[in-house]
Amino acid sequence: MPDTTATTPDEKAAPSTPAPEHQDHETALESLASICTVLAVGLFVMTFIFQNFEIPSASMEKTLLIGDHVLVDRISLAPPSQWAPFVRYREPRRGDVIVFLKPHPETPDLYLVKRCIGLPGDRIHLEHGIVYLNGVAQNEPYAAMPRDDGDPEDAYTPYRDDFPSDLAGIEQAASNNNAALWAVDLPSHIDNGDLVVPPGTVFAMGDNRTKSLDGRFWGFVPRENIVGRPMFVYWSFETPPDQIDKTSLGDRIAFMGHILIHIFDETRWNRTFHIIR
């Protein structure tokens, strides 16, 4: 016969025994794998997408100051690649601030930051520090011009400020700055007093024209040498101009201690997230 037993409302169901909780504990190997993944992603980002650089000299003042730490976009100006067709690339433009490897073998693996002045085919010359691009004087409010204020470095200098007219002066300056090859190559790129930028290169100069060892002293920047474009200053610390020359371990440790002590009062807070143009 069918079971006709019914449960009345007064009957209480027997309490159920809760199922034991299962806690997943991450093993040491899984923890190590997670850390390695984070490091690998971080290394990829800082190597191929963004990179930080510290400004060691006054060649780009007032755009960039000694002690500025900048974040560089390594994607937009990189040579296009087949493996990432979705990435937006573009060619350098006149006026771009660029980071690149210095050309010529005398000083290999040296990163510089300058402003792109001329593109392939452009004709360039300077008159008393003023840039003439394809015959037109350029308005460059960011550029520091030669002046007579008592500082001999800022005084008018023909080979530097009337570039490239004084070939003998340029040859002497190039040899003094380990760029002898440029002094030999330069005359072949001069036409009617203008420097003509060859294909596959750009011509770059620092904004602080009287204190910048730039393309006037070592030549053109090959397109493949361009690393990226600095986007903004993420931290700026007051740094003495001669700090770049202090390369011993003791000097470096001493300056690190100085930073720790003065990080609040010598940080240029007003330059934090300063956009570079």
Q: Any idea which residues carry the catalytic annotation?
A: 59, 114
Q: Tokens at residue 107, please?
A: 């000083």
Amino acid, single-letter form, for residue 81: S
Nearest-angstrom CA–CA distance, 20 and 245:
67
The per-residue b/e assignment along 165-196, b for 16 or more CB within 10 angstroms, e otherwise, is ebeebbbebbeeeebeebbeebeebeeeebbb
Count of alpha carbons within 13 Å of 186, Cβ hemisphere only? 30
Residues 6+ apart with CB under 8 A from 103: 218, 219, 220, 221, 222, 225
Residues 6+ apart with CB under 8 A from 115: 60, 63, 95, 96, 97, 98, 142, 204, 205, 206, 207
Nearest-angstrom CA–CA distance, 201 and 185:
14
Nearest-angstrom CA–CA distance, 144 and 142:
7
Q: What is the DSSP pairing of strand 130-133 with strand 123-127?
A: antiparallel
